[in-house]
Chains A and B, each alone.
Chain A
Amino acid sequence: MPTQVFVDTKDDPRWTKGKNLMPTITKQELLNNSKNLNKAIVIVPNKYDRDFITTEIYQQSKKIGQTKSGKIYQLH
């Protein structure tokens, strides 16, 4: 099942909790687990691409595709 990675949010926490039921991990958890995530796909919306390329995960991944809405990376 796809998992959502939270970056920063200014939304009311009650909506984050009540409306956001997709399995979720934090940005830090993704960074910590990145070495164990062999071949994982990371979908990055265009809005967050600039932030993503500054992270450690970006160094461990390869861009495998792009759509109108975002880029798709795969971890080595």
Chain B
Amino acid sequence: MINVNHLIRMFCLFLFTVVGYGFYNAYLPITDPVESNYVLSAVTMLKHNSWISPMIYDNVWYDKPPLTYWVLMITYKLFGISDFTSRIPNTLIAGISVSFIYHIVYRIKQSIPIAITSAILLMSTLQFWYISHAIITDGFLFFFSLATFGYAYLALEYHDRSAMVKAYAATGFAIITKGPIGLLLPGLILLLFTFVKALQSKDSKCKALLQEWRILFNPLGILVCLLIASPWYIAMYNMHGIDFILGFLGLHNVDRALVSEHPKFDVWYYYLIIVPIALLPWTPLLISKLRKLDWHHNFNQLSALWFFIIILFYSLVATKYLTYTLPAIIPCIIWTGEQLVSVLHNRFSDCKNSFAFIKLVLTPYIIFNLIFLIATFFDSSLSPTPLIISSILCLGSCIIITRRKTITKSTIMYLILPILCIYSAITITVPPILTSQSGIQFKPYLQKDIPTYIRHLLYLINLLYRHNANSSICRYKRRSTLD
């Protein structure tokens, strides 16, 4: 039974995230090529009233399963088509993920401080913040992966069959968000985890493995997963036959794994660079936790398998995107949450431990802010003012925290508010960069009934931009013709 205080905390975390992340979204134009593809697909599907087959440029497209398009289509039906409404689904799922990580960490660790800290750390982690502002599938996949991770651990640790059914339900939704990978990776990780648990058993290892598998292969859970995931795949196969198999499973899943879309990023160390950056500003805190982790604990073993297998899998996959490994940060956030609670506790119970707090929390925090502030001086279109203000607030709050002798709720607020200020300042600063990656820059020149030709691709900032780089031109032209 969930108590009222627990629900209130979940709601506050949700609200805090949605307001913080939704701030200034109306001024963030839709960028090419990824965001614009999702938006244009949802608009095209609405135009054709096509709720089963994903479409773009009036053609069926097998790139992704439909969940992200459905959510965008429902949002457009309710609130109309705009830059702001296009970002609503990812803002909401970010809020749900933040409040849910509080819930699941509380159930795993039985500690309110660790649960709240994990939620706040997730909200303030660079990669999560970035992906939650983008119109892509990964925010949804993160939420379903988090639910799979948390409920599967609870099921296997406490032999809780209902938790395993919830994990399967989350997996079903992951499959209609991102495809078979939603099942493949968690399935492989959990299977390995059952082997690891059985190997450590003091009784018969075969008996222990069978017992684990009785929990893992829950018939009701498998049925629920199939009921959620299979109808769309069956409907698509009935409608498009072998074209769907070859296009969706062949090109957009298997070929993408074997042949790089962006050969220059296909290097084995790609994610070894991305992950430490993704976890900023909390990377030093995580490293300090990993140095003294108890690897015999089941939670840490599952977490390690979860992290390393996801990173290893995507390092082997030829096509690399910086968003792919987002689910890998789930255990990192929980470990970092534990470490921050420990560092805060030590800091305020023993003044000698102030150095660890300054070294692991405040210094990275200030450097993180300064990196963004310095970056604004390298682009004349960016205003440094918002980041100068957030830097002053950040320094001020750091001074206040270091002078405090006891930990209170307001201490946590002195950590959170500057983080929100930093991210708000970044959000206010980046629109000129986004505009240069968006078709909106050409909107004044697009006229109804006059054909528009785009000479090859935009390749705007030499990263990740491909042939269909100009979908947002279609969107902005469409909007101008609708006006």
Contact = CB atoms under 8 A, between A and B. Distances in A.
Q: Are A and B subunits of one complex?
A: yes
A5 B456 contact: yes
A14 B436 CA distance: 28
A28 interface: no
B453 A19 contact: no
A30 B457 contact: no
B439 to A, nearest CB: 8
B450 A4 contact: no
A54 interface: no
Contacts of B471: 22
A22 to B, nearest CB: 5
A45 B477 CA distance: 18
Given A19-B468, A22-B470, A68-B381, A43 B455 contact: yes
Contact of A3 (B260, B261, B447, B452): B452
Interface string A1-25: 1111111010110111011111101
B252 A43 contact: no
Contact of B251 (A14, A30, A64): A14
A2 B357 CA distance: 55
A22 B59 CA distance: 10
A23 B471 CA distance: 11
Given A1-B474, A21-B59, A45-B458, 6 more contacts: A2-B473, A12-B261, A22-B454, A25-B453, A41-B453, A68-B441
B201 to A, nearest CB: 47
Interface residues of B, number: 41
Contacts of B460: 45, 69
B458 A41 contact: no
Nearest to A17: B251
A24 to B, nearest CB: 8
Contacts of B381: 68
Interface string B250-272: 01100100011100000000000
B453 A5 contact: yes
B284 interface: no
Contacts of A6: 456
Interface in B404-446: 435-437, 441-442, 444-446
A23 B56 CA distance: 11
A23 B452 CA distance: 11
Contact of A21 (B56, B450, B459): B56
14 contacts: A2-B473, A4-B453, A5-B454, A7-B455, A14-B251, A18-B255, A22-B454, A43-B452, A43-B470, A65-B445, A68-B381, A68-B436, A69-B460, A70-B458
Given A69-B436, A70-B458, A2 B452 contact: yes
A5 B466 CA distance: 13
Contacts of B386: none
B458 A69 contact: yes
B453 A20 contact: no
Interface in B164-205: none
B466 A41 contact: no
A41 B247 contact: no
Contacts of A37: 451, 453
B477 A2 contact: yes
Contact of A1 (B57, B251, B455): B57
Nearest to B33: A19
A4 B436 contact: no
Given A2-B474, A6-B456, A16 B467 contact: yes
B436 A45 contact: no
A73 B24 CA distance: 33
B251 A45 contact: no
